[in-house]
Amino acid sequence: MTAVAKETIYIDVDDEITNIIDKVRGSDKKIIALVLPKRAAVLQSIVNMKLLKRTADNEAKKVVLITSEAGLLPLAGAVGLHVAKNLQSKPAIPTAPTATQAPEPQISEDELEEAAPSEPVDKSKTVGELSGAAAVGAAVSSDEDDEPIELDDPEPAAAAGTSGTKKAAKKGDKKIKIPNFDKFRLWLMLGGAAIILLAVGIYLALFAMPKAKITIKTDSTTVNANIPFTASTTATTLDADKKIVPAERKETKKTNTQKVAATGQKNNGAKATGTVKMSTQVCGSFTTPSSVPSGTGVSANGHTYITQETASFSPGSISGGCVNFSSNDVSITAQNPGAAYNTGSSTFTVAGRSDVSATGSASGGTDAIVKVVSQADVDSAKQKLAESNSQTAEDELAKNLEKDTMIALKDTFNVGDPEVTTTPNVGDEASEVTVTSTTKYSMLGVNKDDLKKLVTENAKTQIDTSKQSILDDGLADASYVIQGDKNAAQVKITVQSIVKAGPQLDAEGIKKEIAGKKKGETKSIIEARPGIKDVTVDYSPFWVGKTPKKTSKITIVFDTPNDNKKP
């Protein structure tokens, strides 16, 4: 099969001019048919057309644009590129947009003969027919569109040597600068990011950040509620007459482990040993003194030794009517190990026998000091465990009570006796001790609604209910005095709170009414309500000029000018 001198290249809608130029340069054919997609924006630029034409000329290649886009024809004509409606149409250079440009010639017969020298070229045939004629053999498929096309260079529009031709040549000789599309993409992405950031900023500034604080000063009054009641864990309903409020006691256990360094010391050296001889005197009688039993303590120089045998007395000399008695040599062993128990000849006192004294010595004691667990080490670990668990347990119990619509009485918080285990035990040789403590905690809570009834009913006896109503029961800041055993089933308690009374103001209703209103209108709407003395409207941030539309962004504070102190 004879090799064809034409190649068909299909251009994608996303291809840039640099990609198209690379494809033209990369082709080894002389005639190249560029099949353009619809709306081929890349070649709707005269600059890109000139770049394509210049590349074709530099590479000594003929380019035919296969397109029916009317908008591309003047541009192709301006730069002298051939155009065909399809691969079966005859290529031609379209009319240039200026009147000075002469019609471009059709593809020359000489060019077509160069593309397929072995066969005559029929100028009446289409591009597709010319492409098919270049291939020899019956096996060539009818789908092969990329057959060779050869084109003549366009003839000059004016006579040689004219001034118009010279100017056109000079203009064509100018070097065309290829745009930096990577830089363009970078600026495009940066611009997109800036737009997104601007949109987010506008949203935050106009919707998320604006807040309003409305302080409403009323002619409200406060009354002190001081009510004794009984919190009962056995009651199920409120007894208003007896002031018995249902209560609940919640419990929790905390087990924790604490390690501390052992600080105790123990001497594992040898104990000093020796002997003593005891003596005593009996006057006015010849009765033999009782023996000193084995295991009796004898002391000298602040150290105690234990006798290892019984001391029996025998009479000796007599002087002045008194008989002197002395014992056998008695073995002694130091009470504790250590070289400090080594002593030369010394006088010893005998425990429980003031009438007996002893003399002797001890030696052989040595020192071998090791670390052991002391009781102080255990107590220190227990203290650390109690401190770490106590606050956690108190917060947990209070949360659990409040979750059940109870008021947590934190003064009833109770810490049980911890169950403590130590490893190793006190006195054991070790460098550290691990203390594990399990402690039970409890707290009492009372029914919130029931206690509120007691407080508001008490407050109503102190106000004119025809003109005022209870605005705030004060239980959020109330104090409680516990009386008696806080762990009993019934606990005596006194609640002390400051109750606010005044004109009935619906905070949520006010928020809905002023939402989205300007500052002046917001003040006017609130001041129109009865019992209002003054209104202060504060917006934040500084650029906010009206009340937010979302009621969740509005905070209303009722200011009572004559608030009393807590009782």
Q: Could you tell me which residue, 478 or 206, shows the higher pLDDT?
A: 478
Mean per-residue pLDDT, 207-213:
86
- The C-alpha atoms of residue 513 and residue 414 are separated, in whole angstroms, by 48
Are residues 325 and 315 in contact, defined by beta-carbon separation less than 8 angstroms? yes
114-153 per-residue burial string, b: 16 or more CB within 10 A, e: under 16: bbbeeeebeeeebbbebbbbbbeeeeeeeeebbbbbbbbe
| Phi, psi torsion values for 42, nearest 5 degrees | -65, -30
| Length of the chain measured in residues | 567
Task: Please enumerate in sequence order all residues whose Cβ is within 8 A of that of 542, keeping only pairs 6 or more positions apart, or say none.
Answer: none
Residue 24: pLDDT above 70? Answer: yes
Q: What is the DSSP string of 412-444?
A: EEEEPPPEEEEES-TTSB-SEEEEEEEEEEEEE
Q: Treating both helix axes as pointing N-terminal to C-terminal, what angle do 17-26 and 46-58 enclose, rounded to 10 degrees?
A: 20
Domains of the chain, by residue range, sit at: 6-179, 208-220+503-559, 269-367
Least confident stretch, 162-176, 395-409, 443-457, 503-517: 162-176
- The C-alpha atoms of residue 56 and residue 347 are separated, in whole angstroms, by 128
- The C-alpha atoms of residue 22 and residue 252 are separated, in whole angstroms, by 78
| Phi, psi torsion values for 251, nearest 5 degrees | -130, 155
pLDDT tens digits for range 482-494: 988 888 999 999 9
CB atoms closer than 10 angstroms to residue 101: 19
Beta partners for residue 495, in sequence order = 227, 480
* β-pair type (297-300, 303-307): antiparallel
User: Which of the four pLDDT bands, split at 50, 70 and 90, describes residue 175?
Assistant: low
Are residues 271 and 341 in contact, defined by beta-carbon separation less than 8 angstroms? yes
Measured CA to CA in angstroms, residue 249 lies from 245, 403, 411, 441 at distances of 13, 14, 13, 10
Are residues 397 and 410 in contact, defined by beta-carbon separation less than 8 angstroms? no
For residue 134, the one-letter residue type is A
> Token digits for 75?
């541009």
> Token digits for 551?
């009621």
> What is the model's pLDDT at position 231?
93
CA 111 vs. chain centroid, Å, equals 74
Between the CA atoms of 78, 82, 84 and 88, what dihedral angle is there, to the nearest 10 degrees? 170
Mean per-residue pLDDT, 300-313:
95
User: Which of the four pLDDT bands, split at 50, 70 and 90, describes residue 6?
Assistant: confident
> What is the model's pLDDT at position 179?
65
- The C-alpha atoms of residue 486 and residue 410 are separated, in whole angstroms, by 11
User: Which of the four pLDDT bands, split at 50, 70 and 90, describes residue 561?
Assistant: low
- The C-alpha atoms of residue 75 and residue 92 are separated, in whole angstroms, by 13
pLDDT tens digits for range 345-396: 999 999 999 999 999 999 999 999 888 888 888 888 877 777 767 888 889 9
Residue 169: pLDDT above 70? Answer: no
User: Which of the four pLDDT bands, split at 50, 70 and 90, describes residue 292?
Assistant: very high
Q: Could you tell me which residue, 76 or 175, shows the higher pLDDT?
A: 76
CB atoms closer than 10 angstroms to residue 462: 13
User: Which of the four pLDDT bands, split at 50, 70 and 90, describes residue 142?
Assistant: very low
> What is the model's pLDDT at position 154?
44
pLDDT tens digits for range 83-135: 998 888 888 888 877 544 444 444 443 443 343 333 444 445 444 444 443 33
> What is the model's pLDDT at position 227?
92
Residue 225: pLDDT above 70? Answer: yes
* Most confident region among 11-15, 193-197, 358-362 by mean pLDDT: 358-362
CA dihedral for 46, 51, 54, 55, sign (positive or negative) = negative
Beta partners for residue 303, in sequence order = 300
| Phi, psi torsion values for 253, nearest 5 degrees | -115, 140
Mean per-residue pLDDT, 457-462:
88
Mean pLDDT of the chain: 80
